[in-house]
Amino acid sequence: MEYSLNKKMISELVGTFLLVLFGTGSAVGAALMVNKLIPNGSIGGLGGFSEWLAVSWGFGITAIGVIYVFGKISGGHINPAVTIGLLVTKNISIKDGICYIIAQFIGAIIASIAVFTIFGDPGVFIGQLGANAPATGVSYFQGFIAELIGTFFLVLVVMGVAVDKKADPGTYGLSIGLTIGIALTFLGPITGGCINPARGFSPILIDFLAGGANLFGYYPIFLFGPIVGGIIAALLYNFIAKPNME
């Protein structure tokens, strides 16, 4: 059964909205709790590995639910890096791909507006609405490579469990959600964990418009790192999985 492009776009918009809302909302909530418990802690920082773990798996578990709900309609990309990976391997049309990416960014922006509405000014000035930035001592290049590798892993799994027609259709949502969770657990202390250009953009934009910090200078890490990683993974999987013709 083929769904209309409008329905696919709505699925991608709502799916990305939910992912960013619950993921960045978890980050803001953790930052606010740590700030209250540790008044002298760094503003916007989380207290330790347990907080990063909670945030990472907030994204991962949300992704599992969203992918199972919308996967049968739009494929459940909820990430421009995934869509671009599928574009370069011709698993989605250019028209659909562009529309998906637009829907994903709109959904992410609405989610960041919702996070601001729920948490108010503390969410901006303490939690930065969950915006990403390299940790202290992490260079621009290190952040870029970390995001590239994290997204490489994600898109490689997407290609293997969701795009490949030989894959078991019952496990793809769980596999992708778990991949997101472990990738962000690794990336959290390095870049805040993004692997999604729409998720990276929306909190930076709304935080800035709400009077928070200007973090746009870091956004290329969270735009180009995931895109490059996703393209490499998609092309590599396509090469490996293509049967030899004898």
5-241 — its CATH code? 1.20.1080.10
Tokens representing 21 are 């809302």
For position 50, what pLDDT does the model report? 65
For the chain, the domains span: 5-241
For position 41, what pLDDT does the model report? 37
Tokens representing 63 are 């992704």
- Backbone angles phi and psi of 106, in degrees to 5: -65, -45
Contact (Cβ atoms closer than 8 angstroms) between residue 79 and residue 198: yes
Give a three-class secondary structure readout of the chain. Answer: CCCCHHHHHHHHHHHHHHHHHHHHHHHHHHHHHHHHHCCCCCCCCCCCHHHHHHHHHHHHHHHHHHHHHHHHHHCCCCCHHHHHHHHHCCCCCHHHHHHHHHHHHHHHHHHHHHHHHHHHHHHHHCCHHHCCCCCCCCCHHHHHHHHHHHHHHHHHHHHHHHHCCCCCCCCHHHHHHHHHHHHHHHHHHHHCCCCCHHHHHHHHHHHHHCCCCCCHHHHHHHHHHHHHHHHHHHHHHHHHHCCCCC
**CA-to-CA distance for 131 and 119, rounded, in angstroms?**
14
What is the C-alpha R_g of the chain? 17
Written as tens digits, the pLDDT of the chain (246 aa) is 789 999 999 999 999 999 999 999 999 988 888 776 434 333 344 455 666 677 888 899 999 999 999 999 999 999 999 999 999 999 999 999 999 999 999 999 999 999 999 999 999 999 999 999 999 999 999 999 999 999 999 999 999 999 998 888 788 999 999 999 999 999 988 999 999 999 999 999 999 999 999 999 999 999 999 999 999 999 999 999 876 544
Q: State the pTM of this model.
A: 0.92
